[in-house]
A and B are shown apart, each in its own frame.
Chain A
Amino acid sequence: MNHSVIVEVTLREGIADPEGATIERALPALGFDGVTNVRAGKFFRLEIDAPSPDEALQRARALAERLLSNPVIEDAVARLRPS
């Protein structure tokens, strides 16, 4: 059965995020004040054929660590997408 999984990849705390910083600096100029700690990342939506949601999640975590993220600088979080 197919399970829909979402994987979010963000730079680890302490790793400079030039994209997030640039977005954060641009916001006040557009009138959006009071926005801090902007972090940019990547979003993946996957369909995984697995016997159970837990197994789908496990496989998503494995592939996120092996391919979707670079564990040297990034964290990956996988979660099931509510159907």
Chain B
Amino acid sequence: MTKVGVVVFPGSNCEYDAAAAMVDLGADVEFVWHSTTSLTGFDAIILPGGFAHGDYLRPGAIARFSPVMDAVGDFANAGGPVLGICNGFQVLTEAGLLPGALQKNRGLTFLSHPTTVVVTSTRSVLTRGATLAQELVIPINHFSGSYTCDDETLARLRDEDRVVLRYRDNPNGSKDDVAGVANEAGNVVGVMPHPERAMTTLLGSADGRVLLEGFLMLGAAAPR
């Protein structure tokens, strides 16, 4: 059975949503406390949403120095699938595992509502099960979700087909409508929307399933 590690920092608060989604899709889940130094035995890793270390200083700024992050870096460099959702995305950018940064939303508004995102690349562990140009309704829930990077980085992301999700109607001022990006190899992905909260129409949308099912397609060939 596929074993997914969900990293828990002090202040994480979406770890149970992430775990429930993984269990729903047939995976075995184990929580990984942030002081853990080894990720041996895991097939995939999720950094969930929340406010790791209180988001003090900047979201993810303290969390990137948590002991587990060295192991996450090793796991990622070895090609293991790593997904950062919301605060997890912020942690991955602070850790340098993904380019750019997440800034306060345009208008300084905390945003919590469903949003429509467009799949703009299927060459990542999160979007490999989806179709290009597919529109998905996934909720967002963030204050610092405005993606930013320098123009050179953005050009590279576009050239290398690494912007995996874009907002159809940009809610937060993200550069180039970016809602999610991947690393060069496509095995590390960060997204601001919460696919783990879009698992059933009963709660508004089941569009997160196609993303997380793709994430668990571990037997599939590496995205690139």
A residues contacting B by CB (< 8 A) are 11, 15-16, 18-19, 22, 67-68, 70, 72-73
Contact = CB atoms under 8 A, between A and B. Distances in A.
Nearest to B108: A18
Contacts of A67: 57, 61, 65
Given A16-B146, A73-B103, A73-B148, 20 more contacts: A15-B103, A16-B103, A16-B148, A18-B103, A18-B104, A18-B105, A18-B107, A18-B108, A18-B146, A19-B104, A22-B107, A67-B61, A67-B65, A68-B57, A70-B58, A70-B94, A72-B100, A72-B101, A72-B148, A72-B149
Interface of B: 57-58, 61, 65, 93-94, 99-101, 103-108, 146, 148-150, 173
Given A67-B57, A68-B57, A16 B101 contact: no
B57 A16 contact: no
Contacts of A16: 103, 106, 146, 148, 173
A11 B148 CA distance: 12
Please classify the interface of chain A as helix (H, G, I), strand (E, B), loop, or mixed, using the class held by over half of its residues.
mixed
Contacts of B65: 67
Contact of A70 (B101, B108, B146): B101
Contacts of B146: 16, 18
Contacts of B150: 72
A35 to B, nearest CB: 18
Given A70-B101, A73-B103, A19 B148 contact: no
Contacts of B149: 72
A16 B65 CA distance: 27
Nearest to B96: A72
16 contacts: A15-B148, A16-B106, A18-B107, A18-B108, A18-B146, A19-B108, A22-B107, A67-B57, A67-B65, A68-B57, A70-B61, A70-B94, A72-B99, A72-B101, A72-B150, A73-B103
A11 B103 CA distance: 10
A68 B106 CA distance: 23
Contacts of A22: 107-108
B223 to A, nearest CB: 24
A1 B72 CA distance: 39
A12 B148 CA distance: 12
B102 to A, nearest CB: 9
A18 B106 contact: yes
A18 B94 CA distance: 20
A12 to B, nearest CB: 9
A18 B93 contact: no
A70 B61 CA distance: 8
B57 to A, nearest CB: 7
Given A16-B148, A18-B173, A72 B93 contact: yes
Contacts of A72: 93, 99-101, 148-150
